[in-house]
Structure formats: structure tokens, C-alpha cells
Amino acid sequence: MLKLERINAAYKDLQVLWDVSIEVNEGELVTLVGPNGAGKTTTLKVISGLLKPTSGSISFQGRSLRKESAHKIVELGISQVPEGGKIFTGMSVLENLELGAFVARARQDKDRTLKWVYEIFPRLEERKNQRAGTLSGGERQMLAIGRALMSKPKLLLLDEPSFGLAPILVDQIFDMITEINRQGVTVLLVEQNVRAALELAHRAYVIENGRIVGQGAGEDLLSFESVRRAYLG
């Protein structure tokens, strides 16, 4: 479904990604794990079109994304939950969700999708008229995910959804991600919370210093020597 081949990417002169190749198949829940500064967020930016790679190819459902702009990529069915959620704090919860359904394809089904999102995150319905800036950390993350779901994505990219949340909330969020995946949305999950992510995922990639250094089934990677040493202690 999504295929990155030998992607190189840079911020100005600083190269950050080196020959990154990642593949995600339809229906899968794939995770990309690695330490802080490894290039996880950058990889997601390349996929969602916020950063154009210097070389390499990237395709979604057989269609090249190299030249597509960020908003077009959303229309094609890729939606990203950015690092920290990046909700629109000055607007209401409902307005945030409406903006999630901005693309024409999603706007037609807005009401039905909204119902679905409220089913997954009942809390959002309770708070729909509140200003998003007044939400708690966990609620913000739920809103960010809900907002991304509003575009009816085929592929959902999540950038460290567990960051800064209390352990109970982390479990909740991860359960919801599993549930979303079970309902047919392909997921690429970026995490530093390696153990939890590997337990959840069908397959996983390990990224270090901008290079993919390991891949395999989630369970297998749990026993992967360097991963054990580095992240699981």
C-alpha cells in the first residue's frame, strides 16, 4: 500500500534520512521505533508531503507521491497525527473535527464519520463545544487522532501518540489504535515507547541515525539483540 524506497531527506544542508526503505501493506499495523532524533518524525513528514525527499521513491497504492503537495496527499487517503497533536487550540473541539473532514471526499460523509469518531472517543462528544485549548493532555491526543480519522484515511500515520501521557492513558490510547486498525484502517505508528509498540504491531522497523537498522515481526524484534539492549534494558 505504502512503499518508501531508498529515501534520502535533508533539512537545508543537514541530511537526516539515509536510504530509508519502508513498506506497509493494506490492513497492517506497522510501527517505526527508534531513539530521539533518529529521524522518525522526518520520515512521517516525507510521507505526508511536508518535506520533499532529495532522492528515492515513494508511492501509495501504486501512485508516486514525490511531486504531490501535502494537501493532495490527504485527499489520496493518508492522514497524519503530528507530534504533540497540534490541535487548533483557539477553535472548538467540534471545529477541529470538522476541519479534519476538510477534503471533499470526507466532507460528504462528515456526519456519519463524526458519529464513528464519537463512538471511539465518547469524551470528545462530551466536550464538543469546548475550546480545544482547554482540553487535558490525553483529550488533546484523542482529538488529534479523531481529527485525523475525520478525513476517512486509508492510512493513518501516528507520531508518538503516547508522548507525555500517564501510563493508564497510554494503554487506553493504544487500545483505541488497535481498535481503529481492526476496523480496517492501515496504521503506521511511530513510537519511542518501544515495548508497547512492538507488542501491538504486526511488523516493525527500527531506525537509528536516519538509517533503518532492523525490521521484522513485532514479537521477533522484542528479542532482537540490539533492540533489547538499547530500549528494553
Question: Whole-number minimum distance, CB 160 to ligand ADP, in Å?
Answer: 8
Q: Site for another protein (CB under 8 A): which residue of 55, 64, 89, 209? A: 89
x/- contact string, 11-40, with ligand ADP (CB under 6 A)? x--x-x-----------------x-xxxxx
Interacting partner of 151 out of ligand ADP, Mg ion, another protein, none (Cβ under 5 to 8 A depending on kind) = another protein
H/E segment holding residue 206: strand 203-208
Site residues (CB under 6 A) for ligand ADP, limited to 41-100: 41-42
Alpha helices in the chain (DSSP H): 40-47, 70-76, 93-100, 104-107, 110-120, 122-126, 137-149, 167-182, 194-200, 218-222, 225-227
Question: Whole-number minimum distance, CB 176 to another protein, in Å?
Answer: 20
Query: What pairing do the DSSP bridges indicate for beta strands 203-208 and 211-217?
Result: antiparallel
Does 136 engage in binding with another protein (CB under 8 A)? no
Does 164 engage in binding with ligand ADP (CB under 6 A)? no
Taking the least distance from each CB to ligand ADP, the nearer of 36 and 129 is 36
**Cell numbers at 214, concatenated:** 532492523
Cα distances from 190 to residues 36, 41, 42, 162, in angstroms, run 11, 8, 11, 10
Tell me, rounded to whole angstroms, the distance of Cα 124 from its chain centroid. Answer: 20
User: Do 44 and 190 contact (CB within 8 A), yes or no?
Assistant: yes
End-to-end Cα separation, the chain, in angstroms: 34
Interacting partner of 82 out of Mg ion, ligand ADP, another protein, none (Cβ under 5 to 8 A depending on kind) = another protein
**Angle formed at CA 23 by CA 22 and CA 27, multiple of 5 degrees:** 140
User: Do 19 and 211 contact (CB within 8 A), yes or no?
Assistant: yes
Does 103 engage in binding with another protein (CB under 8 A)? yes
d(CA 155, CA 24): 9
Tell me which residues touch Mg ion (CB under 5 A).
Answer: 41, 83
Question: Whole-number minimum distance, CB 64 to ligand ADP, in Å?
Answer: 22
Question: Whole-number minimum distance, CB 116 to ligand ADP, in Å?
Answer: 29
Contact set with ligand ADP (CB under 6 A): 11, 14, 16, 34, 36-42
Give the binding site for another protein (CB under 8 A). Answer: 48-50, 69-71, 74-75, 79-80, 82, 86-91, 95, 98-100, 102-103, 106-107, 133, 147-148, 151
